[in-house]
Amino acid sequence: MSQTPKNIAILGSTGSIGRNSLSVIHNLSDRFNVTYLSTNTNIELLQNQITQFKPRGVVVLDEKKAPALRLIAGDSVEILTGREGLLEIVRRDDVDIVINSLVGFAGLKPTIEAIKHHKNIALANKETLVVAGELVTSLAREYGVSLLPIDSEHSAILQCLAGEQWPRISKIILTASGGPFLNLSKDEFSSITVERALNHPNWKMGNKITIDCATMMNKGLEVIEAHWLFGIPTERIDVVIHPQSIIHSMVEFVDGSIKAQLGIPDMKIPIQYALTYPDRVQLNGGKVDFPKLQMLTFLAPDRDKFRCLQLAYDAIALGGTAPAIMNAANEVAVQAFLEKKIPFQRIPELIEKALDSQPNHLSPDLEHTFQSDHKTREYVRTLL
């Protein structure tokens, strides 16, 4: 069956998810066509992507970098700049699907704009749902667009839920690798360097998410993401540490049966599933070799040691803009840690201070969410 290829815009095409997405699209060129790409600053890689994928336009977030790209790219491609450039491309008619792999709160506005222009969303930017999950999911329903997760855990849950219905589900079990400090005692956390924190055992990812994995905030963000994506209360979302990252998450049903989705840790699998859902197509990559693995292990997360995980459960229980406050404090704290301005264990302390001090708007609109984000960032910066 031949069909017209769907046009894709990738927000953040030079990052880890963006590069994997292009690799998936390259192998499915009869189904998908790239019309727009974007980068923050990496114009060298963007130029390579322009040569290979021939998009109609690109966005360079850093306006100072745009003239250099124009020199090498010539007139072959339209070059837009800044945040407004991202909003502009997601509105265009030659976009059917937006892959949002931006980092942090900055992913929210383009997601909302894309939904309002009837684009289907493949979402890698989990912060969008953490800070405004209720608003974004209800907007997607209102505009009749699909909001499909690229996050490996949420893709696993989506796959486990195929053919199932709500009253049958008793809980969601998110797996977590535990990150590089799983076996480090809390006393040893003071010795953690940026270099060690950036060395994730199973996944190669961008810096922000890698630090979130080391603090386990990533799993906290994913609990909130799962809550909004699947409409399940967080009391029924468990986290279990599974260091091998082979089981990507599980769903437990009312009869005690559990479905799990397994695969090697390769983001191309969830990216491709989000693009072809509910279909599956060939993907040439590594496969799970059970005899070689020998065993899969599990343990409970230590919420005292990994305080960020508990803070995420606390924030969603508080409701309102508390998750947005938590997220903003985390983004500022992680950036400060990466810049070696604060030690690793200061990250949860700053988030807790922000949650304790910043006013929580209980029925937030988008304006409240932006305000909470902005005020929290200012507040946390005064503590650095």
Minimum distance from residue 225 beta carbon to Mg ion (Å): 9
Rounded to the nearest 5°, which phi and psi values hold at 278?
Answer: -90, 15
Q: Which residues contact 44 (CB under 8 A, 6 or more apart)?
A: none
For residue 261, the surrounding DSSP H or E stretch is strand 258-262
Angle between helices 366-383 and 127-143 (to 10 degrees): 170
Residues lying near Mg ion in the complex (CB under 5 A) = 151-153
Angstrom distance (rounded) from CA 6 to CA 3:
9
95 versus 136: smaller Cβ distance to Mg ion: 136
Minimum distance from residue 17 beta carbon to Mg ion (Å): 11
43 versus 260: smaller Cβ distance to Mg ion: 260
Strand spans (E) along the chain: 6-11, 32-39, 57-60, 78-81, 97-100, 120-123, 147-149, 169-176, 237-241, 247-253, 258-262
C-beta of residue 172 within 8 angstroms of C-beta of residue 238: yes
33 versus 125: smaller Cβ distance to Mg ion: 125
Residue 77 corresponds to which tokens in the numbers above? 């491609």
Angstrom distance (rounded) from CA 214 to CA 200:
8
245 versus 369: smaller Cβ distance to Mg ion: 245
85 versus 104: smaller Cβ distance to Mg ion: 104
154 versus 368: smaller Cβ distance to Mg ion: 154
Minimum distance from residue 37 beta carbon to Mg ion (Å): 23
Minimum distance from residue 153 beta carbon to Mg ion (Å): 5
Minimum distance from residue 152 beta carbon to Mg ion (Å): 5
207 versus 360: smaller Cβ distance to Mg ion: 207
Minimum distance from residue 224 beta carbon to Mg ion (Å): 12
**Half-sphere exposure of residue 357: CA atoms within 13 angstroms, side-chain side:** 15
Place of tokens 């069956």: 1
Question: DSSP string spanning 241-259?
Answer: E-TT--EEEEEEETTS-EE
Minimum distance from residue 100 beta carbon to Mg ion (Å): 15
The residue number with the shortest CB distance to Mg ion is: 151
Side chain identity at 191, as an amino acid letter? S
C-beta of residue 100 within 8 angstroms of C-beta of residue 122: yes
